Structure 1
Amino acid sequence: MGRNQNMVDIKFSNDTPPSEILSWSIEKYYPRIAIASSFSVEDTVIIDMATQIQPNLKIFYINTGFQFKETDNVKEALKKKRNLNLIEYSPLLSIEEQTLKYGPKLYDRNPDVCCKLRKVEPIRRALQEVDAWITGLRRDQATTRQKLEVVELDYKGDGKPLTKINPLTYWTKKEVWNYIQNNKLPYNTLYDQGYMSIGCKPCTRPVQQGEDERTGRWTGKGKTECGIHTFLKTEKSEN
């Protein structure tokens, strides 16, 4: 565990530029490092910065089968702009197979199980290939992320340590959008319709003024996280 734990002990100040954090991360871990992307505006910022440092950096994308067509559109636009080294992972079960096994509309009846099948399990497979991963998480996205650190420790499915790097921890929504606009980057047009956090189509709605960015996810289900950024922290104790 030594290498990963030592990396977690490194602290970045709240004014350290994300590009500097990315340079450090890539220098330490490449090629055993990847970006996990859902093609949010935060992920687009990370991808743009990181691929200027290392154009061949791996980018993982989980194709749940329930994504908006607008998400696919921005994915294709960014692939064309940056010639991304994009690797797509899909759930082990197709939507039809999942329906046969678990019944219809699992996302409505038991969203935790649906997220585990369609998001957490595929990302587990993807992360077996790396020692560190980069996300677009920010502290001010939701109350569940207010204690986010730039460098954190996760665990893979086999219990091995995994360094998690969040270069945008201290950035605000305004800073993210300024970067998108100043660099003329493509973005998901659902943002223009009031969506602030975009996941699977059945579980995502526009956000009302004054709500957390992630309030539009799983409305009425008592959850704001799919499990990718919470479940991995428990992997060690389960093995």
Structure 2
Amino acid sequence: MPLDGRTQTLNRRFRNHSATSVMEHALTKLDHIALVSSFGAESVVLLHMAALIDRKVPVLFIDTEMLFAETLVYQQDVAERLRLENVQVIRADRARLFEADNENLLHLHDPDACCALRKTEPLQTALRGYEGWITGRKRYQGGQRAALDFFEVERPADALPRIKVNPLAHWDTADVQDYIIENRLPRHPLVSKGYPSIGCAPCTHPVAPGEDARAGRWKGQDKDECGIHFLDGKLVRGTTAAE
């Protein structure tokens, strides 16, 4: 069955199912699938769900080499606590970094190019060996995510189409927090310091009370996505692309 028909069928089938049911189907019924995690503020939920089903699932963690030190420590801590057996640290090609950003200043004048160099390109290279991937995106995060389904078709410009699975698509903030508390999962240390959404250190700021959770990402810029997601074969970046 073509991927479009397959994802439509899966979305109808799982319309009233739980996130754990979607995750279980992804890990046991779909072939060659990986979980992509930033080990950010809410990442531990999806990682815990995966660990309960298959600790050997490939977990792709992109180290942009501009992350908070707290994120790197948290990544190791969570992987050990959940006994994840196949965490793969993905980094940009050294030659590409030297050519495009040898002074680590690209984010100051072209954040889109920096995200592409340090995050998008390395991830897409890593994903070429997989037929699908699992993300932690949720509808409540807004923008292009507001109409997320559990299952999507992604069409990268330079790779075969693949399935993208969003088990937490219908969850809200309360669902996430309840799951973390009920399962006694470790929180990212920056959450208590006002960072509800965590990316690279130069482009992530604390969020004031009442602000959107992602308001601290690329603060003051016309940008709300790093660009690792595709829409009609194109990288999605910023509000305009989302609309």
TM-score, normalised by the number of residues in structure 2: 0.88
Match of 1:99 among 91, 98, 101: 101
**Percent of aligned pairs with the same residue?**
34
1:232 deviation in Å? 7.8
Residues 73 and 188 in structure 1, CA contact (< 8 A), matched pair in contact too:
no
Taking the aligned partners of 1:11 and 1:104, their CA distance within structure 2 comes to: 42
Is 1:90 equivalent to 2:91 in the alignment?
A: yes
Q: Where does 1:10-89 land on structure 2 (aligned, <5 Å)?
A: 10-11=10-11, 15-30=16-31, 32-84=32-84, 85-89=86-90
Match of 1:118 in 2: 118
5+ unaligned residues in a row in structure 2: which ranges? 236-243
Taking the aligned partners of 2:211 and 2:76, their CA distance within structure 1 comes to: 30
Taking the aligned partners of 1:79 and 1:140, their CA distance within structure 2 comes to: 26
TM-score, normalised by the number of residues in structure 1: 0.89
Taking the aligned partners of 1:177 and 1:116, their CA distance within structure 2 comes to: 31
Taking the aligned partners of 1:14 and 1:40, their CA distance within structure 2 comes to: 27
5+ unaligned residues in a row in structure 1: which ranges? none
Alignment length, in residue pairs?
231
Letter of the structure 2 residue corresponding to residue 7 of structure 1: R
Q: Where does 1:1-239 land on structure 2 (aligned, <5 Å)?
A: 2-9=1-8, 10-11=10-11, 15-30=16-31, 32-84=32-84, 85-93=86-94, 98-100=100-102, 105-230=105-230, 233-234=233-234
Alpha-carbon RMSD: 2.0
Deviates more, 1:52-61 or 1:157-166: 157-166
1:221 deviation in Å? 1.7
Taking the aligned partners of 2:147 and 2:229, their CA distance within structure 1 comes to: 13
Taking the aligned partners of 1:136 and 1:35, their CA distance within structure 2 comes to: 9
Residues 156 and 234 in structure 2, CA contact (< 8 A), matched pair in contact too:
no
Residues 41 and 191 in structure 2, CA contact (< 8 A), matched pair in contact too:
no
Q: Are residues 119 and 104 of structure 1, via their aligned partners in 2, closer, same or farther at CA, if it must alter by over 3 Å? A: closer
1:29 deviation in Å? 1.6
Residues 128 and 159 in structure 2, CA contact (< 8 A), matched pair in contact too:
no
Between Structure 1 and Structure 2, the one with more helix by share is 1
